[in-house]
Amino acid sequence: MSSASANNQADAANDAADDLTYIKLISNDDYVFYVHKYVAKGSGAIRNLLGSSSQFVESKTNEFTFRDIRGPILEK
Protein backbone atom coordinates (compact mmCIF):
# COMPACT_ATOMS: atom_id res chain seq x y z
CA MET A 1 0.00 0.00 0.00
CA SER A 2 1.38 3.40 -0.92
CA SER A 3 1.88 6.12 1.64
CA ALA A 4 -0.68 8.38 -0.10
CA SER A 5 -3.26 5.59 -0.07
CA ALA A 6 -2.68 4.94 3.62
CA ASN A 7 -3.02 8.66 4.38
CA ASN A 8 -6.29 8.85 2.43
CA GLN A 9 -7.67 5.88 4.35
CA ALA A 10 -6.61 7.42 7.65
CA ASP A 11 -8.24 10.74 6.69
CA ALA A 12 -11.47 8.95 5.74
CA ALA A 13 -11.48 7.08 9.06
CA ASN A 14 -10.91 10.33 10.98
CA ASP A 15 -13.73 12.05 9.07
CA ALA A 16 -16.10 9.16 9.80
CA ALA A 17 -15.22 9.21 13.51
CA ASP A 18 -15.58 13.00 13.59
CA ASP A 19 -19.06 12.76 12.04
CA LEU A 20 -20.11 10.59 15.01
CA THR A 21 -19.14 13.37 17.41
CA TYR A 22 -22.08 15.03 19.11
CA ILE A 23 -22.58 18.76 18.80
CA LYS A 24 -24.71 20.94 21.03
CA LEU A 25 -27.42 23.16 19.54
CA ILE A 26 -28.96 25.82 21.80
CA SER A 27 -32.08 27.79 20.90
CA ASN A 28 -32.90 31.34 21.96
CA ASP A 29 -35.31 29.98 24.60
CA ASP A 30 -32.64 27.66 26.06
CA TYR A 31 -33.74 24.36 24.54
CA VAL A 32 -30.63 22.20 24.15
CA PHE A 33 -30.24 19.46 21.56
CA TYR A 34 -27.34 17.05 21.15
CA VAL A 35 -27.05 15.66 17.63
CA HIS A 36 -24.43 13.78 15.66
CA LYS A 37 -22.32 16.07 13.54
CA TYR A 38 -23.29 14.20 10.36
CA VAL A 39 -26.98 14.90 11.08
CA ALA A 40 -26.32 18.59 11.73
CA LYS A 41 -24.46 18.81 8.43
CA GLY A 42 -27.85 18.33 6.77
CA SER A 43 -28.25 22.06 7.36
CA GLY A 44 -26.18 24.12 4.94
CA ALA A 45 -25.66 26.87 7.51
CA ILE A 46 -24.33 24.47 10.14
CA ARG A 47 -22.26 22.60 7.54
CA ASN A 48 -20.53 25.90 6.66
CA LEU A 49 -19.88 26.64 10.33
CA LEU A 50 -18.38 23.17 10.79
CA GLY A 51 -16.13 23.28 7.73
CA SER A 52 -12.47 22.47 8.29
CA SER A 53 -11.49 25.91 7.00
CA SER A 54 -14.06 27.65 9.21
CA GLN A 55 -12.78 30.43 11.45
CA PHE A 56 -15.87 30.24 13.68
CA VAL A 57 -15.20 29.28 17.30
CA GLU A 58 -18.23 26.96 17.07
CA SER A 59 -16.31 24.68 14.73
CA LYS A 60 -13.81 24.11 17.54
CA THR A 61 -16.20 23.91 20.52
CA ASN A 62 -19.01 22.00 18.75
CA GLU A 63 -21.53 24.26 20.51
CA PHE A 64 -23.90 26.46 18.52
CA THR A 65 -26.26 29.09 19.95
CA PHE A 66 -29.04 30.29 17.68
CA ARG A 67 -30.24 33.66 18.95
CA ASP A 68 -33.03 33.91 16.37
CA ILE A 69 -34.42 30.36 16.48
CA ARG A 70 -36.87 29.00 19.07
CA GLY A 71 -36.57 25.46 20.41
CA PRO A 72 -39.58 23.93 18.61
CA ILE A 73 -38.25 25.24 15.29
CA LEU A 74 -34.67 24.12 15.93
CA GLU A 75 -35.95 20.68 16.89
CA LYS A 76 -37.30 20.15 13.38
> What architecture is the 21-75 domain classified under in CATH?
2-Layer Sandwich (3.30)
Spatial separation of the C-alpha atoms in residues 59 and 69, rounded to whole Å: 19
Q: Is 70 in contact with 27 (CB distance < 8 Å)? A: yes
User: What does the pLDDT read at residue 65?
Assistant: 93
Q: What is the pLDDT of residues 42-71, one digit of tens each?
A: 888 888 888 777 787 877 888 999 999 999
Using pLDDT thresholds of 50, 70 and 90, give the confidence band for residue 18: low
Q: Is the pLDDT reported for residue 5 higher than 60?
A: no
How is the chain split into domains, by residue range? 21-75
User: What does the pLDDT read at residue 56?
Assistant: 79
- Of 43, 48, 39, 42, residue with least CA distance to 69: 43
What b/e sequence results for 5-29 when a residue is b if at least 16 CB atoms lie within 10 Å of its CB, and e otherwise? Answer: eeeeeeeeeeeeeeeeeebebbbee
The structure's pTM equals: 0.69
User: What does the pLDDT read at residue 7?
Assistant: 47
